[in-house]
Amino acid sequence: MMSALYTASSTASGGRQGSVKSSDGTLDLALSMPKGLGGTEKEGTTNPEQLFSAGYSACFDSALQLVAGQAKKRITSAVTAEVSIEKQGAGFGLSVKLIAEMEGVTQEEAEELMEKAHAVCPYSRAIEGNVKVERTAVAK
């Protein structure tokens, strides 16, 4: 096993109706169940899917910048990760739509960078084969 370069630690209590806090206290959030899952979706709260979406979009945008730099391309980018929870068999699963908007490249180059970023992004690699990820590259 490889040695960790960085470890993040957060603790949740109360499940989807509780709270989550990072070990350094930077993240300290109340959780509530989304209305789409039968909850009350209280104002000012978040949920695991929003947190995953935020992490994945930030990580993927970073991977996109990395592969663009390696290809000697200067881009401005924004990545949106739409994370859905859905019924899968007897349980639940996730699906993701990644939309990467890039300025400074052609549509063909944007699609190529998207595929390269998907191959190196730790989130993409972690869910490979377990979560359907639909990728859309948009050159602006």
pLDDT in tens, 25-40: 999 999 999 998 899 9
124: which 2 tokens?
Answer: 């993409």
Q: What is the pLDDT of residues 78-126, one digit of tens each?
A: 999 999 999 988 999 999 999 999 999 999 999 999 999 999 999 999 9
- Same domain, residue pair 96 and 27: no
- Same domain, residue pair 81 and 70: yes
- Same domain, residue pair 37 and 102: no
Q: What is the pLDDT of residue 1?
A: 64
Domain hosting residue 16, numbered range:
1-46
Confidence of residue 2 (pLDDT cuts 50, 70, 90): confident
Q: Three-class SS string for the chain?
A: CCCCCCCCCEEEECHHHCEEEECCCCCEEEECCCHHHCCCCCCCCECHHHHHHHHHHHHHHHHHHHHHHHCCCCCEEEEEEEEEEEEECCEEEEEEEEEEEEECCCHHHHHHHHHHHHHHCHHHHHHCCCCEEEEEEEEC
CATH number at residue 35: 2.20.25.10
Count of domains forming the chain: 2
